[in-house]
Amino acid sequence: MNDFLNQVRLVGDWLTSSQQWHGDDGIPHRLAEHLTYSGVSLLFAALIGLAFGLLVGHTGRGAFAVASVANLARAIPTFGLVVLVVTLAGLSTTPVLVALVALAIPPILINTFEGVRGVDPVTRDAARGVGMTEWEVLIRVEVPMSLPLILLGLRIAAIQVVATATVAAYPGLGGLGRFIVDGLSRNDYQLVIGGSAVVVLLALVVQIVFTALRRVVVSPGLRVSASRS
């Protein structure tokens, strides 16, 4: 208990120190770098994952490929992928972003696919029966009914990217991971746990944002149905 309280005190002292809020090594600058890496990676992953997830889910073609992506994603070590990409492509921002995008695509793709495929076939047939085109069936019926799972995939990907972007500091880039890497190299325990605490807080904020977004864009009936499934 005393060790835990000491850690809390160290984090508090570190966060309230004025030097942590100024300069290139300050929390605001490192947080901005971290959010940039995470935001850009999530955006590209969402564009790819949503597009293929909706297409495969609606047409039913390529389901085996989606399952293969899911199995492959479980086998890929996060740090190993980042190091491999950086080793092959060189030390720069782009290789790290490529690795983060690759890690974020599977949960978005799989949940989007499962959400669309899970729509009641009777509902699809009824939509087609009233004259809707395939595009209208997808956008006006399948996507709204799939939103709980689609948002779940985006939330999982966002939290994964925020946590994994910390690894970007190991090949020499910025972000919140610099606190952890620099702290370990200097044997600065306070810097390590302080940086780790900021990453955890950021992940919690992401969780809260997606929970609020779900309440706004998903109808109450679908929220209840999703919670029971």
- What predicted TM-score, i.e. pTM, was given to this entire model? 0.86
Q: Count Cα atoms within 13 angstroms, Cβ side, for 207.
A: 8
Exposed e or buried b per residue across 112-125, where buried means at least 16 C-beta atoms within 10 angstroms of its C-beta: bbbbbbebeeeebe
- For the residues of 93-105, what is the DSSP string, one character each? HHHHHHHHHHHHH
Distance CA 164, CA 99 (A): 10
| Domain ranges across the chain | 2-228
Instruction: Give residue 20's pLDDT.
Output: 79
Q: Which tens digit of pLDDT belongs to each residue from 81-132?
A: 766 776 766 666 777 888 888 888 889 999 999 999 988 889 888 988 888 8
Q: How many CB atoms lie within 10 A of CB 169?
A: 22
Mapping DSSP to helix (H, G, I), strand (E, B) and coil, where does residue 173 land?
A: coil
Instruction: Give residue 225's pLDDT.
Output: 52
Q: Match 């809707």 to its residue by tokens.
A: 132
Confidence of residue 77 (pLDDT cuts 50, 70, 90): low
Mapping DSSP to helix (H, G, I), strand (E, B) and coil, where does residue 138 land?
A: helix
* Residue 55 predicted with pLDDT over 70: yes
Q: Please state, rounded to an integer, the average pLDDT across all residues of the chain.
A: 83
CA dihedral over 114, 119, 125, 127, signed as positive or negative? negative
Write down the CATH number for the domain with range 2-228: 1.10.3720.10
Distance CA 178, CA 167 (A): 9
Q: Which tens digit of pLDDT belongs to each residue from 135-186?
A: 999 998 999 999 999 999 999 999 989 988 887 777 667 888 888 888 888 8
* Residue 229 predicted with pLDDT over 60: no
Give burial (CB, 10 Å; 0-12/13-18/19+) of 135. Answer: exposed
CA dihedral over 74, 157, 199, 6, signed as positive or negative? negative
